[in-house]
């Protein structure tokens, strides 16, 4: 079901048909769920940047420290001249530490958001004047055709942020296998994974005192209203972060605080007080399960660098 032109607001961004179909399919499902990748419109990307600075949200700080400390060793093991291919580069804040240490032959950021991709490629271009940069606007969940210019260079995939945790394990394995298709045999992969730890640390990291993560979650509903011309009563939803021990993951939900209903593209959805829309999974891995995941995805782990407090790990693996 498509929106008619006269149903959209004059200043609304064009509706992405994949967004509409994911939202309609996800809300028709029981329990309701919308894929986390739709968080990242312009506002969502801004809010995520704010999350990375929150006192409760340790992953960005810890991983950045690990990259500062261990990138020189990555360079020694991987050797000079690799093309660094970053999956879901976003604003690429962690990348300079790696690029400084490993003498790459090129940098290929891949991101689904063209805006952020071009901004950050321009920024890195200034910081690394001699480095060829080839941004690729693509969904890295599918095999990506890399630019012809780097066809002959050995590759180092870079997948920081524990973004792999957004995927259920079977999809994570598919993605890891897809990365081998994209990068070729002989490639290496530097990947960050958040570790299992106390609920008392994990839950606040996804439900901060300042309410930024709540706003990030609720922005998905605002985006649905903005882009799909819907009438979701955002004020009747509240943010929830919960630890699911069976799956070893943090889940984010939007909880209906009253019986409510709304219409999206002519389809009506009703929810009762307490019903939720599941908006994100963030799986956590202990070192053994992390290595098993890599191996299932076709990657042989060769090094692990955890931080001193056991919060987060960087892994280097080869195809
Ligand atoms: C970017 C997917 C790794 O799961 O920690 C942060 C996203 N969601 N706070 C994460 C996120 C809520 C983040 N990843």
Rounded to a whole number of angstroms, the CA Rg of the chain reads: 20
pLDDT tens for 134-148 read 999 998 989 999 999
Q: Does ligand 1 come within 6 angstroms of the Cβ of 88? A: no
Q: Does ligand 1 come within 6 angstroms of the Cβ of 19? A: no
pLDDT tens for 151-160 read 999 999 999 9
Which protein residue's CA is at the shortest distance from atom 1 of ligand 1?
Answer: 163
Q: Which whole-number Å values give the CA distances from 192 to 11, 200, 202, 311, in the listed order?
A: 39, 22, 17, 11
Q: Does ligand 1 come within 6 angstroms of the Cβ of 91? A: no
Instruction: Point out the ligand 1 atom lying closest to the alpha carbon of residue 52.
Output: 6
Residues 161 and 192 sit within 8 Å (Cβ to Cβ): yes
Percent of the chain with pLDDT strictly greater than 70: 95
Q: Which whole-number Å values give the CA distances from 152 to 83, 92, 142, 319, in the listed order?
A: 9, 24, 21, 16
pLDDT at position 42 is 87
Which protein residue's CA is at the shortest distance from atom 5 of ligand 1?
Answer: 282
Q: Does ligand 1 come within 6 angstroms of the Cβ of 51? A: yes
pLDDT tens for 199-218 read 999 999 999 999 999 999 99
Q: Is 300 helix (H, G, I), strand (E, B) or coil?
A: strand
Instruction: Point out the ligand 1 atom lying closest to the alpha carbon of residue 48.
Output: 6
pLDDT tens for 153-204 read 999 999 999 999 999 999 999 999 999 999 998 999 999 999 999 999 999 9
pTM of structure = 0.93
């Amino acid at each position: 079901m498509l929106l008619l032109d006269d149903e959209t607001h004059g200043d609304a961004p064009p509706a992405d048909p994949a967004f509409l179909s994911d939202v309609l399919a996800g809300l028709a499902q029981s329990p309701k769920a919308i894929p986390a990748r739709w968080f990242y419109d312009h506002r969502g990307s801004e809010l995520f940047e704010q999350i990375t600075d929150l006192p409760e949200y340790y992953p960005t700080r810890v991983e950045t420290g690990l990259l500062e400390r261990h990138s020189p060793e990555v360079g020694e093991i991987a050797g000079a001249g690799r093309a660094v291919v970053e999956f879901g580069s976003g604003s690429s804040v962690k990348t300079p530490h790696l690029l400084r240490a490993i003498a790459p032959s090129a940098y290929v950021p891949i991101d689904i958001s063209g805006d952020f991709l071009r901004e950050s490629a321009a920024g890195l271009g200034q910081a690394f004047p001699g480095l060829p940069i080839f941004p690729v606007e693509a969904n890295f969940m599918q095999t990506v055709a890399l630019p012809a210019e780097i066809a002959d260079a050995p590759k180092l995939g870079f997948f920081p942020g524990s973004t792999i945790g957004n995927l259920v394990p079977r999809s994570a394995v598919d993605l890891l296998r897809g990365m081998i298709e994209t990068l070729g045999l002989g490639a290496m992969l530097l990947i960050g994974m958040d570790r299992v730890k106390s609920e008392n640390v994990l839950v606040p990291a996804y439900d901060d005192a300042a309410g930024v993560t709540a706003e990030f979650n609720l922005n998905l509903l605002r985006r649905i209203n903005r882009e799909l011309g819907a009438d979701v009563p955002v004020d009747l939803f509240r943010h929830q972060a919960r630890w699911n021990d069976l799956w070893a993951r943090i889940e984010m939900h939007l909880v209906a605080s009253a019986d409510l209903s709304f219409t999206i593209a002519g389809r009506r959805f009703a929810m009762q007080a307490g019903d939720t829309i599941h908006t994100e999974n963030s799986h956590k891995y202990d070192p053994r399960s992390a290595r098993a995941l890599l191996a299932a995805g076709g990657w042989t782990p060769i090094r692990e660098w955890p931080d001193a407090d056991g919060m987060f790990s960087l892994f280097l693996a080869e195809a």
